[in-house]
Chain A
Amino acid sequence: MNHNRQSNDGKHDDDSALSDFLASLMDYTPTIPDELVEHYLAKSGFQCPDVRLIRLVAVATQKFVAEVANDALQHCKARQAAVVKDKREKQQKDKRLILTMDDLSKSLREYGVNVKQQEYFADSPSTGIDPATRDE
């Protein structure tokens, strides 16, 4: 009995927590715009007039992207640190944190997405030499 009541109380708490959270989403504007989420949800066939649910999906996506990006950032930092250890003086200028395909594919692999940087074929040997043109 006691245990049951406890779990019931817990459920009630969770219930109110969920509804509170959903209510708080009315005020919170995620970075991913509602229209975008609405568009893709509509494309997938999901239909719901509630803005809060769209916000929930937006926030979840934002969380996902932020986590992936954060992982990629850690990969990037680790790579840079390793490189700096090797040849310190040469890499001084290239210290900017850049989101690259290498780091992204590493971090995405942990989330179940297999991405690989496409093989790069240059039409002439001089095409890809300057690294400055390849960044950004």
Chain B
Amino acid sequence: MNNGCLENRKKEHDNSQKRPKSYKFGSKSDDFALAIAKVAVAQLCESVGFQSFHLSALETLSDVSVRYIYSIGKTANLSANLAGRVEGNVFDIIHGLEDLGSNLGFSGASDVDRCVVSSGVVKDITHFVGVSDFIPFAYDVPGFPVVKDWLPAFPDPETYATRLSVENETMGVSNGKKTESKLERVERKMDRSLLNLQLRFAHNENKGGSSHGSGYVATESNPYLAAPLHVGEKEVSPVVLPTKLSNEVALRNPVHVDVGNHVSVLETFAPAIEAMKSGLCDSDNGKKKLLYDQRPTVRFKIGIGKKSLGTISDFGSQNEEDLLKIASWFGNDNEKDDKKRRVEKILKESVESSKE
């Protein structure tokens, strides 16, 4: 299954990337789970008495153990479905365990009409639990599947979890007022979490507006951490600052909402949403303004640089040319115009030189 040495590891890794995606246990998305399985198996091996391991052997054993879990689930699911159930129970799992242990044998396997409850497999496992040492897993494992950083956060569990309980409650006891009040409470809870969700999305959106998220947040929370302004931008900064501040205020509210109390009621969030919405609009306008303001300053700077290079005598024409050239740099005009301008420039220069 695996080769025995490190030298071939790289090659094998390359091969694993070329594997078809249908391969269940070697897919890229499963790397994390396999890594965790490896750690757990290594811990078990250590507890048995091994001092070291070959990587290939450990990988094989963890792969086998993962397949063990998988096939238990497969068999248990099969027997549950065979009995007309969707959710499995203990007996399905015991059935799966017996199925897997059938070639090894267990006590009472030969008995035809034995009860699943008194299965030898379960007794063995009970014995094992009693005998074996308690070894906790070495790391804290986040719940699967792991959400990547760049994906939006999951909504609160209430948004999708309560729907089921609501159904249950309506299906269950018909205790007039009591169920109604319960229902109301649940609905309110759902509303609140939905609201949270919306706010979070809005927050994310706001974050996503800037090209680099974390830096943007830092500049908002602390103006001293903001990127230093250029010399030419002095006039711009007082215009930008108030919008930034308003942004900050608007952003602070939803942050509180996200992190803070889930106990408060819908009404308390209403002003926050208003502020949020207005803040969003403000920030958008502010960005546009910022962009608009920045462009002339940049042009101005380059103009200065060119001016110092150029001769003083034909200041006006040169400056105009420069401006046109800069405009072409900004991609405002297409190539045809550029060519035209070049022709014009050459003509002008020739005329000037002939004058001299």
Contact = CB atoms under 8 A, between A and B. Distances in A.
Given A18-B117, A40-B33, A40-B66, 18 more contacts: A21-B129, A24-B129, A28-B129, A39-B33, A39-B144, A41-B72, A47-B86, A48-B88, A65-B68, A69-B44, A69-B61, A73-B49, A99-B45, A99-B57, A108-B61, A118-B56, A120-B5, A133-B6
Interface in B76-90: 76-77, 80, 86-90
A20 to B, nearest CB: 9
A73 B90 CA distance: 32
Contacts of A31: 40, 43-44, 47, 135-137
B238 interface: no
Interface string A28-54: 110111011111111111111110110
Contact of B61 (A59, A65, A98): A65
Q: Which of B36, B57, B97, B142 is packed against the most chain A CB atoms within 10 Å?
A: B57
Contacts, number: 231
Contact of A98 (B33, B53, B64): B53
B7 interface: yes
A69 B40 CA distance: 13
B154 interface: no
B3 A120 contact: yes
Contacts of A33: 36, 40, 137, 141
Contacts of B7: 122, 127-128
B175 interface: no
A22 interface: yes
Contact of A66 (B37, B48, B56): B48
Chain A binding surface SS class = helix
A11 B117 contact: yes
A97 B50 contact: yes
Contacts of A29: 134, 136-137
Contact of B93 (A28, A53, A66, A68): A53
Interface of A: 10-11, 14-15, 17-18, 21-22, 24-25, 28-29, 31-33, 35-50, 52-53, 56-57, 59-66, 68-70, 72-73, 76, 96-101, 103-105, 108, 110-113, 115-120, 122, 127-128, 133-136
Given A32-B137, A40-B33, A104-B57, A96 B51 contact: yes
Contact of B70 (A18, A43, A50, A136): A43
A41 B67 CA distance: 10
Contacts of B70: 40-41, 43-44
Nearest to A63: B128
10 contacts: A18-B90, A32-B40, A56-B90, A59-B128, A64-B68, A96-B51, A104-B60, A115-B64, A117-B56, A118-B2
B115 A11 contact: yes
A136 B54 contact: yes
Chain B binding surface SS class = helix
B60 A136 contact: no
A61 B69 contact: yes
A62 B37 CA distance: 11
Contacts of A128: 5, 7
A120 B88 contact: no
A52 B88 CA distance: 12
Nearest 10 A/B pairs, CB to CB: A44-B73, A99-B53, A46-B73, A14-B118, A118-B3, A41-B73, A46-B77, A39-B144, A69-B48, A40-B69
B1 interface: yes
A41 B40 CA distance: 17
A21 B53 contact: no
Contact of A57 (B36, B41, B69): B69
Contacts of B45: 65, 69, 99
A99 to B, nearest CB: 4
